[in-house]
Amino acid sequence: MRWLAGPVGRAASTRSPLFDAIRGAAARVTTPLLPDDYLQLANPLWSARELRGRIVEVRRETEDSATLVVRPGWGFDFDYRPGQYVGIGVGVEGRWHWRSYSLTSVPRRNDKLISIAVKAMPDGFLSGHLVDGLPAGTVVRLAAPAGNFQLPEPPPRRVLFLTAGSGITPVIAMLRSLDRHREMPDVAHVHSAPRPVDVMFADELDDYSRRYHGERPDEGRYRLHVQLTRSTGQFTPADLDATFPDWRTRETWACGPAALLDTIEVFWAANGLRDRLHTERFELSRADVSGRGGTVEFGVSDRSTTVDGATTLLEAGEAIGVRMPFGCRMGICQTCVVPLAAGHVTDLRSGRQHAAGELIQTCVCSPAGDCRLDL
Ligand SMILES: Cc1cc2nc3c(=O)[nH]c(=O)nc-3n(C[C@H](O)[C@H](O)[C@H](O)COP(=O)(O)OP(=O)(O)OC[C@H]3O[C@@H](n4cnc5c(N)ncnc54)[C@H](O)[C@@H]3O)c2cc1C
Ligand code: FES
Decide if 84 is inside a domain.
yes
Decide if 263 is inside a domain.
yes
Decide if 220 is inside a domain.
yes
Decide if 153 is inside a domain.
no
Which of 92, 127, 280, when mutated, tests ligand 1's pocket best, judged by the most ligand atoms within 8 Å of its CB?
127
User: Is residue 81 located within the same domain as residue 139?
Assistant: yes
4, 25 in Cβ contact below 8 A?
A: yes
Residue 299 belongs to domain spanning: 294-373
User: Is residue 190 located within the same domain as residue 261?
Assistant: yes
Q: Which ligand is nearest to the CA of 169?
A: 1
CB of 332 closer than 6 angstroms to any ligand 2 atom: yes
User: Is residue 125 located within the same domain as residue 32?
Assistant: no
What is the model's pLDDT at position 107?
87
Which of 53-62, 92-101, 350-359, 364-373 shows the lowest mean pLDDT across its residues?
92-101
User: Is residue 25 located within the same domain as residue 59?
Assistant: no
Decide if 79 is inside a domain.
yes
Decide if 289 is inside a domain.
no
User: Is residue 225 located within the same domain as residue 277?
Assistant: yes
Decide if 360 is inside a domain.
yes
User: Is residue 169 located within the same domain as residue 276?
Assistant: yes
20, 38 in Cβ contact below 8 A?
A: no
What is the model's pLDDT at position 65?
98
Task: Output the domain CATH number for residue 136.
Answer: 2.40.30.10
Which of 24-38, 209-223, 233-247, 263-277 shows the lowest mean pLDDT across its residues?
24-38
Task: Output the domain CATH number for residue 342.
Answer: 3.10.20.30
Decide if 286 is inside a domain.
no
Which of 90, 260, 282, 284, when mutated, tests ligand 1's pocket best, judged by the most ligand atoms within 8 Å of its CB?
282
pLDDT surpasses 90 at 42: no
User: Is residue 334 located within the same domain as residue 299?
Assistant: yes
Q: Across the chain, what does the average pLDDT equal? A: 88
Q: Which ligand is nearest to the CA of 146?
A: 1
Q: What phi and psi, each to the nearest 5 degrees, are found at residue 205?
A: -65, -40
Higher pLDDT, 361 or 326: 361
User: Is residue 12 located within the same domain as residue 115?
Assistant: no
Higher pLDDT, 213 or 109: 213
Rounded to the nearest angstrom, the distance between the alpha carbon of 353 and the centre of ligand 2 is: 18
- pTM score, two decimals? 0.85
75, 12 in Cβ contact below 8 A?
A: yes
Number of structural domains in the chain: 4
pLDDT digits (tens, 9 = 90+) for 357-373: 999 999 999 999 999 99
